[in-house]
Amino acid sequence: MEKKSIGINNSNDYRTGLICVLACQLIWGFLPAYWQALVPIPSWIIILYRMTTMFVYSYIAARLMYKKEEIWEPLKEKGALRRYLIAGLLLTANWSIYIWAMTTGHMIQSSIGYYIEPIVICLFGVIIFKEKFTKYNVTAMALAAIALIVMLIHYRQLPGVALGLALTWATYSAIKKSSKNPPIIELVYETMFYAVFAVIGIFVIEARGMGALSLGVPGKYALMFLSGLVTLIPIALFGSAAKKVSLFIIGLTQYISPSITLILGIFVYKEPIDTVQVLSFAVIWIGLIFFSYGEYKSNKELLES
């Protein structure tokens, strides 16, 4: 059966999408320093504030760009509510795993997850969107699987953080690929349902003296109110890019941020790294080299056609 690739509308859209996805990856790469600055506030409290402020900032941004009717009209589309509930759940799960990893000394394992993620996205592109696959990305998938098996055998447990981050974001990416509405409006939908529960949670824990206020760190508490903004910017860039470039390109650029995070984890925050992790990274990177070369060839042909 012949596989068909998703076409790119035009060269301007392609360039815009590429700039957006590169910018969001750079921001994501350095964000661990921001979450580390919030320690010793527990990760689950940070998550509640992040969910709440994310909705607030995304709605403000949407109102600056669109009328009220334009914001809420797409939610009336058939199946929209279910789609955004699922997307929001995946986004919340990804955030929760990520922030816990960033604040509890698991930056290196999170990097493994984000190295695997492009290959999972590539796989979803082939299965769901019938994008063309080549021997290069098949090789990358096989090598990523080998790296996971090596870690599984050595540690005798699944690398939960790595797999959780890879699978939740790859699935979210697939949902975003089929969306037709403006990214900022979609972020309003994806966050508003869960922000309600987050606000309730914040009031309860703060009223009981178990929240961030009880820790007596006003500077860090103030930083938490910016967590939605620093989240909004790269996600909005990503949402825009997902509509303009193929899932292959999105996957190709997504090892920029884990590389930055890996460097921060090892050299700035002094997380331990063992031989098995180094070997796993090496295997995954060999796969990414194959993957990158295949993408280079495919996109060179696309731009010349």
pLDDT in tens, 70-98: 999 999 888 899 999 999 999 999 999 99
pLDDT at 3: 41
Q: Is the pLDDT of residue 6 over 50?
A: no
Q: Residue 97 class from Cβ within 10 Å (0-12 exposed, 13-18 middle, 19+ buried)?
A: buried
Query: 0.75 cut: is pTM over it?
Result: yes
**Cβ–Cβ under 8 Å, residues 234 and 24:** yes
Q: Is the pLDDT of residue 2 over 50?
A: no
| Model confidence pLDDT, tens digit, residues 237-287 | 887 887 788 766 776 777 788 889 989 999 999 998 888 888 888 888 888
Q: ∠ at Cα 55 (51, 58), nearest 5°?
A: 130
Q: Residue 124 class from Cβ within 10 Å (0-12 exposed, 13-18 middle, 19+ buried)?
A: buried
Radius of gyration of the chain (CA): 20
Confidence tier at 288 by pLDDT (50, 70, 90): confident
The residues spanned by each domain of the chain are 11-304
Distance CA 134, CA 130 (A): 12
Beta-carbon contacts of residue 162 (< 8 Å; ≥ 6 apart): 109, 110, 112, 113, 116, 148, 151
